């Protein structure tokens, strides 16, 4: 009797356990269970220290927070963990090349860079290996002609073209052709705007009367701005990062060049860091171009980013570099989702050239009207145009805040390689 009673008790206990666990098992499909421990590796680089740290530090935080959001709230990508391989490049080209080689060896499926200068350093080795790359901030040299490098959003050439068109229609009130001066960072950030002006200024009826360059570590541009002032320009366009742009704006104001003439800045520098470094009074009235919404826009992506930034990196709240890389990470997740759906995880799990080709042809090139939670324009791949989003806005700094003065503007593709001077 005792033995029989013991068996009955154990059997009852087992039944209780089965009844309790069964609903949980029913909620997990065999495919979900098979994904445990399997990952999708992505390399993501930011210049979080060094001369562009004012951009790279919040950019790195945006990536890390977005990956946390994807893995915890969205349960990964098609059930697989988004495995982040994040590194600080310190804005060092040699370091970028080493890191990209290491990412390929680690089996990363693709890689991203925050800055166009980083991607410029990486593109030769990446294109040769067919290792797909995505740059958050882009310049035309990265993908003209198109190869295996893509731009998340419009580039610095698009910035110049959009502002030049806006200026001619809404600001210029003189007769004849306005005279424009360019002040450019001496790397692809500056050269992208220079090349667009070279391609389009004459046909748009604009005379480029001065082109000055500066370094990322400049501490004074009085001499260059004095040369610009002697040319008596009607408008000036700056393509740089926040710290050098702050120097230029302070010096321009000291010389009386600004606000005498309107000045605009391409989107690499047009963020909260510029206002913080230069001072709100110095940059009051500055025009800028940016390819995302601001923190004041009530769209799902900003709402979610706000939740995470306040929880993890409160000092970055209001910084558009955080928003930009948060959206980069969402775009990467969508690329991986498409690649898993169209090519299968086993192809991606190889982490080799077959995986990279699958990510590119079955992920990147299958993008169509992905909305990025409203943060920027729709993301689609168009053959012959490796910019995935083609829309930007014109903004203005008013009362220390970045406010829009235009609706979304579509930036048409510029085929730089068709110009004889393009290298």
* Whether residues 112 and 48 fall in one domain: yes
b vs e for 342-375, b when ≥16 Cβ sit within 10 Å of the residue's Cβ?
ebebebbbebeeebbbbbbebbbbbbeebebbbb
Task: Please report, in angstroms and rounded to a whole number, the separation of the first and last CA atoms in the chain.
Answer: 93
Name beta bridge partners: 214. Answer: 185
pLDDT of residue 342: 98
31 vs 75: CA distance, rounded Å: 14
Provide DSSP, 38-74: -EEEEEEEE--SSTTHHHHHHHHHHHHHHHHHHHHTS
Tell the burial category of 50 from Cβ atoms under 10 Å away from its Cβ (0-12, 13-18, 19+).
middle
184 vs 191: CA distance, rounded Å: 7
189 vs 215: CA distance, rounded Å: 11
Q: Is 98 within the bounds of a domain?
A: yes
Q: Is 322 within the bounds of a domain?
A: yes
- Report which of 177, 52, 164, 42 is spatially closest to residue 111, judged by C-alpha positions: 42
Q: Is 401 within the bounds of a domain?
A: no
Q: Is 396 within the bounds of a domain?
A: no
* Whether residues 128 and 204 fall in one domain: no
What are the Cα distances from residue 46, in Å, to 11, 93, 122, 272? 58, 12, 13, 18
* Whether residues 203 and 226 fall in one domain: yes
pLDDT of residue 23: 35
* Whether residues 97 and 219 fall in one domain: no
* Whether residues 248 and 185 fall in one domain: yes
* Whether residues 277 and 227 fall in one domain: yes
What residues in the chain have per-residue pLDDT under 70? 1-33
How many of the other CB atoms lie within 10 Å of CB of 24? Answer: 8
Q: Provide the residue range defining the domain that includes 283.
A: 157-290+411-418
* Whether residues 162 and 267 fall in one domain: yes
* Whether residues 207 and 275 fall in one domain: yes
Q: Is 57 within the bounds of a domain?
A: yes
Contacts of 24 (CB under 8 A, 6+ apart): none
pLDDT of residue 32: 60
- Report which of 290, 244, 238 is spatially closest to residue 264, judged by C-alpha positions: 238
What are the Cα distances from residue 271, in Å, to 35, 64, 122, 289, 325? 40, 20, 25, 10, 13
Q: Is 367 within the bounds of a domain?
A: yes
Q: Is 400 within the bounds of a domain?
A: no
* Whether residues 376 and 329 fall in one domain: yes
244 vs 214: CA distance, rounded Å: 8
Question: Residue 371 maps to which CATH number?
Answer: 3.40.50.2300
Q: In total, how many domains does the chain have?
A: 2
Dmax over Cα atoms in the chain, in whole Å?
Answer: 110
Q: What is the CA radius of gyration of the chain?
A: 25
- Residues 360 and 331: beta-carbon distance below 8 Å: no
* Whether residues 233 and 284 fall in one domain: yes
Q: For 339-382, what is each residue's pLDDT tens digit?
A: 999 999 999 999 999 999 999 999 999 999 999 999 999 999 99
* Whether residues 163 and 149 fall in one domain: no
378 vs 358: CA distance, rounded Å: 22
Q: Is 2 within the bounds of a domain?
A: no
The whole-model pTM stands at 0.91
Cis peptide before 266 (omega within 30 of 0): no
* Whether residues 279 and 302 fall in one domain: no
- DSSP label of 267: T
Q: Please count the CA atoms within 13 angstroms of the CA of 323 that sit on its side-chain side.
A: 29
226 vs 210: CA distance, rounded Å: 11
């Amino acid at each position: 009797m005792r033995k029989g009673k013991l068996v009955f008790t154990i059997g009852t206990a087992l039944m209780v356990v089965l009844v309790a666990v069964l609903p949980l098992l029913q909620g997990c499909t065999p495919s979900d269970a098979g994904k445990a421990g399997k990952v999708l590796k992505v390399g993501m680089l930011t210049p979080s220290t060094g001369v562009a740290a004012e951009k790279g530090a919040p950019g790195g935080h945006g990536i890390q927070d977005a990956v946390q959001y994807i893995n915890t709230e969205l349960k990964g990508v098609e059930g697989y963990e988004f495995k982040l391989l994040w590194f600080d490049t310190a804005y060092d080209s040699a370091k970028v090349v080493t890191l990209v080689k290491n990412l390929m060896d680690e089996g990363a499926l693709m890689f991203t860079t925050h800055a166009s200068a980083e991607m410029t350093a990486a593109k030769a080795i990446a294109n040769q290996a067919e290792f797909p790359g995505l740059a958050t901030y882009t310049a035309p040299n990265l993908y003209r002609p198109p190869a295996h490098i893509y731009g998340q959003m419009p580039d610095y050439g698009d910035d110049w073209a959009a502002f030049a068109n806006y200026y001619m229609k809404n600001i210029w009130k003189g007769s004849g052709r306005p005279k424009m001066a360019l002040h450019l960072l001496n790397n692809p950030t500056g050269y992208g705007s220079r090349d667009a002006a070279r391609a389009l200024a004459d046909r748009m009826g604009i005379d480029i009367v001065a082109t000055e360059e500066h370094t990322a570590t400049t501490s004074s541009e009085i001499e260059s701005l004095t040369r610009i002032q002697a040319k008596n320009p009607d408008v000036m366009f700056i393509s740089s990062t926040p710290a050098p742009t702050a120097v230029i704006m302070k010096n321009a104001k000291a010389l009386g060049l600004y606000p005498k003439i309107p000045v605009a800045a391409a989107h690499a520098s047009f963020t909260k860091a510029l206002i913080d470094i230069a001072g709100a009074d110095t940059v009051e009235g500055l025009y800028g171009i940016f390819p995302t919404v601001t923190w004041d826009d009530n769209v799902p992506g900003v709402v979610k980013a706000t939740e995470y930034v306040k929880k993890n990196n409160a000092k970055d709240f209001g910084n558009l570099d955080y928003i930009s890389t948060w959206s980069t990470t969402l775009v990467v997740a969508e690329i991986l989702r498409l690649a898993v759906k169209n090519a299968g995880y086993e192809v991606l799990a190889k982490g080799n050239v077959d995986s990279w080709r699958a990510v590119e042809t079955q992920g990147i090139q299958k993008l169509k009207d992905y909305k990025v939670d409203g943060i920027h324009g729709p993301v689609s791949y168009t053959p012959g145009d490796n910019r995935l989003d083609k829309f930007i806005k014109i903004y203005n700094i008013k009362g220390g805040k970045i406010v829009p003065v235009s609706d979304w503007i579509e930036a048409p593709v510029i085929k730089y390689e068709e110009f004889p001077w393009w290298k």
